[in-house]
Amino acid sequence: MKTKNLIDVKNLSVSFGNNIILNKINLHLSKKESLVIIGKSGSGKSVLLKCLMGILKPNLGSIKIDGVDIVNTNRTDKENALKNIGVTFQNGALFDSLTVWENITFKETRFFGFDKKAAKEKALSIIQNLELDKNILELYPSELSGGMQKRVAIARAICDQPQVLFFDEPTSGLDPITGKNN
Ligand SMILES: Nc1ncnc2c1ncn2[C@@H]1O[C@H](COP(=O)(O)OP(=O)(O)OP(=O)(O)O)[C@@H](O)[C@H]1O
Ligand SMILES: [Mg+2]
């Protein structure tokens, strides 16, 4: 049976050696709800997000996304649950060897069978909403400014309109006007 909440986090605890980072965190978010987490540097924001994204296994606790416990489930169910999620990492984490349009449509081409033409068209429609020039589609991440890389990472996260979006510092490094518009 599916839970009412889209995201249910219970007693989430993470330690690295004796260093306790997260201690019994509980979070409950329903559809269309947003949550901003603010805390000083090193307080565990990115660690929490990495747990929610399924890339860091907590020491204790459960994380349910749309009813699927991504900590304690098999790989197939976990991957299916995570397909419904878009993420940006604090450092952007674009794929260096892929062009901008290949980065933006990574999920579409790998998992949803988009061909090159459809993927490029999709990438174009997304970047225009983020005030990025269409000429950057064929560039590689190293050819972009830091702020442009950040916006391409956002474009990749929102490309397939996932049900859940996790952003780790999406506007840091952007000028105030661009940050506000995004
Ligand atoms: N893989 C790891 N191994 C050991 N310690 C880690 C690891 N990842 C994070 N930490 C530690 O966990 C703590 C929280 O780190 P985290 O990256 O979540 O901070 P943050 O709140 O995102 O900070 P910032 O605002 O600077 O991004 C820090 O003390 C960090 O050193
Ligand atoms: Mg961080």
- Same domain (yes/no): 78, 22: yes
Domain of residue 143 covers 100-181
Minimum-distance ligand to the CA of 19? Answer: 1
Whether 177 has a pLDDT exceeding 70, the answer reads no
Q: Determine the Cα–Cα distance for residues 60 and 62; give it in Å rounded to an integer.
A: 7
Lowest mean per-residue pLDDT among 47-61, 78-92, 124-138, 168-182: 168-182
The model's pTM is: 0.86
Task: Check pocket membership of 39 for ligand 1, CB cut-off 6 A.
Answer: yes
Would you say residue 141 lies in a domain?
yes
What percent of the residues of the chain are helix, what percent strand, and what percent coil, each to the nearest 5? 35, 20, 40
Q: Which of 82, 111, 130 is the last residue of a domain?
A: 82
Provide the number of structural domains found in the chain.
Answer: 2
Whether 79 has a pLDDT exceeding 80, the answer reads yes
Q: What is the mean pLDDT of residues 22-40?
A: 94
Task: Check pocket membership of 18 for ligand 1, CB cut-off 6 A.
Answer: no
- Same domain (yes/no): 110, 71: no
Predicted confidence band of residue 170 (pLDDT cuts 50, 70, 90): confident
Residue with tokens 């459809």: 118
Q: What is the 3-state secondary structure (H, E, C) of 51-102?
A: HHCCCCCCCEEEEEECCEECCCCCHHHHHHHHCCEEEEECCECCCCCCCHHH
Minimum-distance ligand to the CA of 45? Answer: 1
- Give the domain CATH number at 77: 3.40.50.300
| Nearest CA residue ID for atom 8, ligand 1 | 47
- Same domain (yes/no): 73, 19: yes
pLDDT of residue 171: 74
Q: Which of 82, 117, 148 is the last residue of a domain?
A: 82
Predicted confidence band of residue 30 (pLDDT cuts 50, 70, 90): very high
- Same domain (yes/no): 123, 164: yes
Q: What is the mean pLDDT of residues 28-41?
A: 93
Would you say residue 118 lies in a domain?
yes
Cα 77 to ligand 1 centre (Å): 28
Cα 45 to ligand 1 centre (Å): 8
